[in-house]
Structure 1
Amino acid sequence: MIIVTGAAGFIGSGLISQLNKEGFKSIIAVDDFSKIEKAENLEGKIIQEKVERTELFNWIDANYRDVEFIFHIGARTDTTEFSKEIFDELNVNFSKDIWHKCVAYQIPLVYASSAATYGLGELGYDDNEATIPQLKPLNPYGDSKNDFDIWALEQEKKPLFWVGLKFFNVYGPNEYHKGRMASVIFHAYNQIKATEKMKLFRSHNPEYKDGEQMRDFIYVKDLINVCIFFMHHRKNSGIYNLGSGKARTFKDLVTNTFLAMGKTPDISFVDTPEDIRDKYQYFTEANMAKLKSIGYQQPFHTLEEGVEDYVKNYLSTHSYL
């Protein structure tokens, strides 16, 4: 059996879909299933059992002999949430409890960290574990992810295999429920469909022109492939970046969304809200050398390829992965 936390969410549900395609049918889906807005993400998936998040640890104690692997994808990911208590409960302490179960029962683990741990990128975007305690995230979400990374590295007792993956800017199918936290492509598609236009944040940094703020955008299908690679690989434990390795501008992103929709780009700019202006990232780019050094060779979608697939095969038909 394979446990997937955050199973009804954006990445977790896509991961289950790909596991099913690769012949894995004994999936234990863990989530807060009271959130019905995510229910469609699991339609058509082959799942052995749904387990409420609050019941997970009792379930593991009763069934650990049959658990082959845990993907801990679930987390509170709202970067506009500022309650440290919520993040401590859901992102730090819950993750620690999963870690302890994986140690006790020798279950291999892949968990989701985040590029939000890098803050403004003062120390670069290298997944060097020695620098992790020095990173300065910009919000409580990033703090919670970095706090757990630091804690994991400090532990004397570790699972027989474990990996933390620092997800960069993920986009792709199954994010319909995410509201304002959905990807820029998702919002661009809907805004263009409604108005034939798209508004982006103006640059307030003289080093960047309007729309040329840059992010490492990674297509969710590529991210899922890396997760499954580690399930089979099961060596070289540690913390890894997971982005495309290539920063692109928001203007590129939106232009390609227009083109995938068969429309002429019409982009304008609005001021970045003052409350986030001083914490706004103008550049992120994952150094992917570490992952490649352990033998990962699959190519990643270019931005053009990913946007076209997402728009034409999912957004335009409201389809799911």
Structure 2
Amino acid sequence: MIVVTGAAGFIGSRLIHALNAEGYTYLVAVDIFDNPEKEKNLQGAKLLQRVDRRNFLAWLDQNEQEVEFIFHLGARTDTTEFDYQLLWELNTDYSKALWQKCTAYQIPLVYASSAATYGAGELGYKDEEALIPQLKPLNPYGESKNEFDKWVLQQQEAPFFWAGLKFFNVYGWGENHKGRMASVIWHAYRQIQETGRMRLFRSHHPDFKDGEQMRDFVYVEDVARVCLWLMHHRQHSGIYNLGSGKARTFRDLVTAVFSSLQLPAQIEFIDTPADIRDTYQYFTEADMGKLKGIGYPHPFTELEEGVRQYVARLESSRSAS
């Protein structure tokens, strides 16, 4: 059995469909299956079993001999969440408990970290494990992820293979349920359909013009491909960046959405909301040398092509509804 936590979520569901495409159907989906919008992500998926997240650790004790691999992608991913207790419970303590079971049962584990651990990028975006204790995330979500990364690196015992993946700005099909936390592409598509234009955050940083804040946008299908490759090549444990390796501006991204819709770009600027303005990242770019250095061979999808594919699927879904 292959287990995917966060299975009904954005990345988890795309990974399940990618596993199905490779012929894997003996899959255990772990989540809290109470969101109809997330349930749509698993339509057509071939699964062996669904397990409630709250019962999963006990389930693992009973079924560990049949589990071949675990992808731990479930987490509280809201970067505006300030309930430290909730974030530590879901993102840090739950992950520690799962790590300890994977260690005891020697089950290989790939888990989701985040580029939010890098904070403002004072130390750059290189996935050197020696730098991780020095990182200063800008929000509690990033802190909860970095705390687990630090804890992992302190462990004397580990699964025979494990990898933590620092996801950068992932976009693609399956994020409808994320609301405010969905990618700018998803918001752009909806706004353009409703108003014919797109609003972006104004820059509040003297080094960046409006719309020229930069992010490393990575296509969710590329993320799934990396996860599958790690499952097939269980040799180099560690913490890895997972982005495209190329920072692009929000203006580039939104222009690509307009282009995919064959519309002229109409962009307006609004102030960044006060609750996130002081912790807003103006530049992120994954150094992908470490993953490529262990042999990862595949190129990453160019932003314009990923946006084109994503918008085409959004258009297809819209016309079918």
**TM-score after normalising by structure 1:** 0.98
Match of 1:7 in 2: 7
Gaps (5+ residues) in structure 2? none
Matches within 5 A, 1:1-321: 1-312=1-312, 314-318=313-317
Shift of 1:34: 2.0
Letter of the 1:103 partner, please give it: T
Letter of the 2:130 partner, please give it: A
Cα deviation 1:105-154 (Å, max 9, x = unaligned): 10000000000000000000000000100000011100000000000000
Gaps (5+ residues) in structure 1? none
1:239 match: secondary structure: strand
Letter of the 1:174 partner, please give it: G
Displaced runs of 4+ in structure 1, greater than 6 A? none
Contact 2:215–2:248 under 8 Å retained in 1 = yes
Letter of the 2:15 partner, please give it: L
Count of matched residue pairs: 319
Q: Distance in 2 between matches of 1:260 and 1:4?
A: 32
Shift of 1:274: 2.6
Shift of 1:220: 0.2
Cα deviation 1:220-253 (Å, max 9, x = unaligned): 0001100111000001100000000000000000
Cα deviation 1:244-271 (Å, max 9, x = unaligned): 0000000000000000011110111111
Q: Distance in 2 between matches of 1:11 and 1:264?
A: 31
Aligned-residue CA RMSD in angstroms? Answer: 1.1
Q: Distance in 2 between matches of 1:119 and 1:202?
A: 20
Q: Distance in 1 between matches of 2:202 and 2:94?
A: 38
Cα deviation 1:155-177 (Å, max 9, x = unaligned): 00111100000000000001111
**TM-score after normalising by structure 2:** 0.98
Shift of 1:318: 2.3
Letter of the 2:119 partner, please give it: G
Cα deviation 1:197-217 (Å, max 9, x = unaligned): 011111111111110000000
Cα deviation 1:183-202 (Å, max 9, x = unaligned): 00000000001111011111
Q: Distance in 2 between matches of 1:266 and 1:43?
A: 35
